[in-house]
Every structure is written in C-alpha cells, then in structure tokens.
Amino acid sequence: MLELEPLDQILGTRIHGANLSEPLSDDDFMVVLKALGEYGYVCFPGQALSAAQQKAFAERFGSLEINVAGSYQEPGIPEIMILSNIVENGKPIGIGDAGQDWHTDMSYSSMIAFLNVLHGIKIPRRDGKPLGGTSFANMVQAYDDLPDDIKERIEGLTATHDFNKFWEMMRREKGSSRPPLTPEQRAKKPPVVHPLVLIHPITGKKVLYANPGYAERINELSQQESDDLLRYLFEHQLQEKYQATHRWTEGDVLVWDNIGTMHNAVADYRADEPRLIKRCQVMADWILQSDLAKANGAEARFFGTH
Ligand code: SIN
C-alpha cells in the first residue's frame, strides 16, 4: 500500500511503499496520478531500477519522447536519455547541461509534455550536502495569485514557444559549448502556439502556461505589449514563494508534472563532482485525452484553441 508523505513546501510529496521495478496496480496508479496533480512532483526513494524497468513505469502515463540529442541515449533504449557531466575515455557519457534554467519541457512541441521520470544514479555531494538539485515552481498557485485584471487579460491569449530560445540562451548566457542548431534541426522543431492559460487535466485548475525558457511572444498583442506582459508574467511566476527544490539521493525516482510546474536543474556542482541521472519524457497525449481531462474541460482547452 502506498503512503504519501507531503513535504512542508509549496510542491512535492514522497511516496513510500512502491516498487517501481514491477507494474503498479490500477489503484496505485491512480494514487500516483492524483498526487502529481495535487503536489506537482513526487519522489519515490530507494528504487533499484533497470533502464528497461524505468521505461516500463514511465510509459504507463503516456507515449515517450525520443530526444533530439540522440548521442546521449541508453544503448538499446532510446527513450532513456542520459543526463551526466561524466567523461569516460575523453567522451561525455551524457548531456551535461540539460535544463539549467527555468523552463517547461516540450512546451515547444505541438503535443506538450506531461511527466518527466528521472532516476538518480550518482549525485554530487560537497561537505556531505547533495548538489545538483532540481527546482520547481508552482504554476497553479502563480495563476491563482494573479490580479483579476491580468487573469481577464490573458484568458484566450496564446503564446508562441520556440525550442531555439532556450538553446540560444544556454549558448549566450551559460557558456554552453552546444553548437547553434542547424537549419535541419530548427526545421524539425518549428515554433508552436499554446494557450497562455491551460486547464490542468487532473485537477481542473487553471495553470499559467508561459515559461521563460521557451515562450517568446504573445500572439494577439503588439511586440511591445507582448514583451511587457511576458516580462511581468515571468517575474511573477518566479517569485521564491512558488518554488521548492528536490535534493537528490541515489535511488530516488523523481516524477514531475510539466503542465502545472516549471523546473530548473541547479548547476551548483563542478565537472569533477559526478552526476548521473537517467530520464524519460512522457508526453501528454494519453492524459489530455483521458476521461479525467475530458471531465475537467482540459482536453477542449488544449485541443480546441490551436
Ligand atoms: C531536465 O529534465 O530539465 C533536467 C532536470 C535535472 O537534471 O535535474
């Protein structure tokens, strides 16, 4: 039987009593789904999982994305991406700088992401303290706290999200050695449009869906108005009161909901402090067409507006 241990912060719960190397019962699956809606992220501590078992657990929640960074995949399981700063025989074994600023995964895709499922294998520590945490911000609460006139203004507006925005920001501001995207890579990831306010498929609550990583333009406004409103929304949603950080322990399986949260991989460790995490990206195809999403009106909001 699963036991929830909600954390004393704006997001996050631990779930005890699960063995994710085996399929969850239907009841336990529903408990996890509801917990994701309520808490934004869940941590299952002490999980010993093979990559194949991690994939099997993740794909219960939707189809899995195969990342464009094709060279950092688990051999034989391309749905598992390797996040790591470890270099072996002169070659990086994973992508070292993934997600190191605030963003929402796959908002640049016409089918958005639902979950990320990460398994912590090696966690950097200094003076006994874990480094390389993953921070989250609560976009349900951020929406809820917006002044009424802003809520009215953004209802019905849409934003363009572009993969290249975050990629270029990493190159420009974070000293990343990523090369610019090639025209072929850009053509594979054209900008997409999503409503600024989504309805959460699990809870039916409204969510502010505009992350600084990928949202670049509010389509119905002039350039100046769009810049001003996005600046306001980004500042609002990144207030500390909406944030919580997961501090990793080896064996953690961390699952988060990308619809109701934004996240940031905290880059506070050095190249000689190894971090190794395996990651699956679950798309929102199944959840947005589930009975739950239909009952909450989330499906119509997402598919009806673009
Ligand atoms: C990501 O999926 O954005 C990376 C998160 C992390 O490495 O903590």
pLDDT, one tens digit per residue, over 234-256 is 999 999 999 999 999 999 999 99
Residue 175, pLDDT score: 73
Q: Whole-model pTM?
A: 0.95
pLDDT at residue number 244: 98
- How does pLDDT run across 93-142, given as a tens digit for each residue? 998 888 889 999 999 999 999 999 999 999 999 999 999 999 999 999 99
Q: How far apart are the first and last CA of the chain?
A: 41
Return d(Cα 16, Cα 8) in angstroms, integer: 16
Would you place residue 70 in the very low, low, confident or very high pLDDT band (cuts 50, 70, 90)?
A: low
Query: 279 CB under 6 A from ligand 1?
Result: yes
State the pLDDT confidence band at 21, using cuts at 50, 70 and 90. Answer: very high
Q: What is the CB-side half-sphere exposure of residue 25 using CA atoms within 13 A?
A: 7
For residue range 144-186, list pLDDT tens digits in order. Answer: 999 999 999 999 999 999 999 988 888 887 777 778 888 888 8
Q: Who's near 236: CB < 8 A, 6+ residues apart?
A: 142, 145, 146
- 177-200 in b/e form (b: 16+ CB < 10 A) is eeeebeeeeeeeeebbebbbbbbb
Q: Atom 2 of ligand 1 has which residue's CA nearest to it?
A: 99
Domain ranges (residues) in the chain: 3-303
What average pLDDT does the segment 39-44 reach?
98
128 vs 131, 241, 249, CA distance in Å?
A: 9, 27, 11
258 lines ligand 1 (CB under 6 A): no
pLDDT the model gives residue 168 = 86
Mean pLDDT within 201-217: 97
Nearest CA to ligand 1 atom 5: 265
pLDDT for the residue numbered 305? 52
Q: What are the backbone angles phi and psi of residue 49, rounded to the nearest 5°?
A: -130, 135
pLDDT of residue 173: 79
State the DSSP H helix or E strand holding residue 136, giving kind and residue range, or none if neither: strand 134-138
Q: Cα separation of 166 and 63, whole Å?
A: 24
Taking the centre of ligand 1 as the mean of its atom positions, its distance from the CA of residue 116, in whole angstroms, is 9
Distances (CA, A) of 15 to 6, 26, 61, 154: 8, 16, 17, 36
274-297 pLDDT, tens digit per residue, is 999 999 999 999 999 999 999 999
Buried b (16+ CB within 10 A) or exposed e, 28-39: eeebbbebbbbb
Q: Is the separation of the CB atoms in 176 and 168 below 8 Å?
A: no
The Cα–Cα gap between 15 and 2 comes to 6
Closest-CA residue, ligand 1 atom 3, reads: 99
**Residue from 118, 135, 273 whose mutation best tests the ligand 1 pocket (most atoms within 8 A of CB):** 118
User: 264: CA distance to ligand 1 center in Å?
Assistant: 7
In this structure, how many other beta carbons lie within 10 angstroms of the beta carbon of residue 241? 10
3-303 is a CATH 3.60.130.10 domain: yes
